[in-house]
Amino acid sequence: MNYYQFNAEDLAADDAFKAWVCAPTPDTDTFWQAFLKDYPERYYQVQEARILVAGLQQIQQDPAQTQRAEKLWDKIETTINAPKKGWWYPLQTWKIAASVTLLLVVGWAATIYFEELNPVAENTHLATEWVEAVNDARQQMHLQLADGSQVWLEKNGKLRYQKDFSGTVREVQLTGEAFFEVAKNPKKPFIVYANGLVTKVLGTSFRIKAQADAATVTVDVKTGVVSVYAQKADASQKAAMVLLPNQKAVFQRENAALNKTLVEKPTIVLPKQEVQKFVYEDASAVAVFESLEKAYGVKVIYDEATFQNCTITISLDDEDLFQKLEVICKVLGAKYEIIETQIIISSNGC
């Protein structure tokens, strides 16, 4: 099944998906976790579908919703029993019934959806005590939060955070610069507010720069998957941008524009035991590009036909990614440019 093409409604109607939401098993959990790892950009469609399925289930279990449904259906039956007014009447009655059913489901699901995705929902702030940390020292300030998450707050930075994270989400407010290592908790997203930009994660590490007087806010991802969106965005978060390791979001505060690019110094994303030395002896250019792409998790685009006869003998262990690319391109007589999060390499041939 090609679930990548499914929208939230398609997923919510799929029997296998509903079985996973209602009665997950190790096998189904493994499948959907792998799906989200391969296609992180589908995260919100999956979450929306899960909420729709849960809403349907809740309607069946909630006496108040059942009572509401019965009253609406009484009205429908009254209309049905009224004198008929034309050949189109049965069709009109069916449309009314279908619309009411849809409203019940969507109304309930929308409530859950708003509470889950909108971090400022009222229930997240009930009986919550906030703590404020200000770093007036020259060195970093290390903070250990109640959920096990860690924050390294830079000089002049300020962080407000919930003391016990008792709500449905884990919220903090940042002014200045900080590096976060967030403890994983898929049931309770971790949300950072920073000068109009919202960063939402389940468990990962990333850096935010949000100086009070700066025109931009940046989010650099080190590990995991992060989603960012303007704080003024609607509750559905359709404008959310998904970031992967070595990717960066730049938020323009004046016009709320959000752009994505690579970080200044991409780091290797492979586990240490899988990292091979960047030492090439008569290696094909294509193999070199593939090794860089795999090591740094960055898409490298090039014309294979142009480079198929090109070979390289070189050692590049000490250089960062862009230094490696500079040397490689110089040897091959090529050039590279960065377009969003992709590296484009062009050449007239070796």
pLDDT band at 345 (very low <50, low <70, confident <90, very high): very high
Closest CA to 194 of 149, 165, 161: 161
Q: What are 201's strand-pairing partners?
A: 190
Residue 113: exposure state from Cβ atoms within 10 A (0-12, 13-18, ≥19): buried
Residue 145: exposure state from Cβ atoms within 10 A (0-12, 13-18, ≥19): buried
Query: Do the Cβ atoms of 208 and 174 come closer than 8 Å?
Result: yes
**Same domain (yes/no): 146, 87:** no
Going along 37-157, which residue ranges are E strands?
A: 130-134, 141-144, 150-153
What's residue 115's pLDDT? 40
What's residue 26's pLDDT? 85
pLDDT band at 349 (very low <50, low <70, confident <90, very high): confident
Residue 339 predicted with pLDDT over 80: yes
Cα 320 to Cα 25, 36, 276, 292, 304, distances in angstroms: 43, 29, 14, 11, 24
pLDDT in tens, 252-310: 998 888 999 999 999 999 888 888 889 999 999 999 999 999 999 999 999 988 998 89
| Rounded Cα–Cα distance for residues 282 and 262 (Å) | 29
| Rounded Cα–Cα distance for residues 241 and 226 (Å) | 8
Query: Do the Cβ atoms of 175 and 212 come closer than 8 Å?
Result: yes
* Mean pLDDT across 324-350: 92
Closest CA to 245 of 210, 272, 276, 207: 207
Residue 209's contacts (CB-CB under 8 Å, 6 or more residues apart) are 177, 217, 218
Please give the residue range of the domain that contains residue 60: 3-117
Residue, of 54 and 340, whose pLDDT is higher: 340
pLDDT band at 111 (very low <50, low <70, confident <90, very high): very low
CATH of the domain at 293: 3.55.50.30
| Rounded Cα–Cα distance for residues 171 and 102 (Å) | 33
* Domain endpoint, select from 239, 260, 281: 260
| Rounded Cα–Cα distance for residues 17 and 53 (Å) | 9
**Same domain (yes/no): 14, 76:** yes
**Same domain (yes/no): 220, 333:** no
Residue 167 predicted with pLDDT over 90: no
What's residue 5's pLDDT? 73
**Same domain (yes/no): 144, 181:** yes
What's residue 9's pLDDT? 77
| Rounded Cα–Cα distance for residues 276 and 295 (Å) | 9
Report if residue 266 sits inside a domain: no
* Domain endpoint, select from 68, 86, 117: 117
Residue, of 297 and 41, whose pLDDT is higher: 297
